[in-house]
Amino acid sequence: MNKKDQVVVFDPDISLIDHLRKISGVRVNQQRGETVVMIRGSNTIIGNNSALFVVNGRPIGQSFRQLESTVSVSDIRRINVYKGMEATNRYGMRAGAGVVEITTK
């Protein structure tokens, strides 16, 4: 794992958004009523700059709303954050803005 990448052990007493806000380099913003998660230093000139969400190795897209409907907060075990070449090596060009990888119990 690249030393710039981070792993967070999930605490079920803290919301997913609050966990993401605690990770260095991760920004969580509200844009037009949508929660947008961006990883510092990972941008793409095509598409949007939202991180790709992956649950148990399965990419689910860049919508935080879709992430919330896919995974129950109480089931999360770990959150990994990847950016740069590590993200694109793992998940291809759609991960150009970084990856928030969630592992469940």
Of the candidates 71, 55, 62, the one whose C-alpha atom is nearest the C-alpha of residue 94 is 62
pTM of the model: 0.83
Residue 55 lies in a domain: yes
What is the domain count for the chain?
A: 1
pLDDT reading at 1 higher than 70: no
Domain, as residue range, for 32: 6-104
Residue 23 is assigned to a structural domain of this protein: yes
**C-alpha–C-alpha distance, residues 55 and 37, integer Å:** 15
Is residue 80 included in any domain, yes or no? Answer: yes
CA–CA distance, 84 with 87 (Å, rounded to integer): 6
Confidence of residue 7 (pLDDT cuts 50, 70, 90): low
pLDDT value of residue 42 = 53
Q: How large is the average pLDDT for residues 78-89?
A: 89
18-71 confidence digits (pLDDT tens) = 888 888 889 998 888 889 898 876 555 555 688 999 999 999 999 999 999 999
CATH code, domain carrying 12: 2.170.130.10
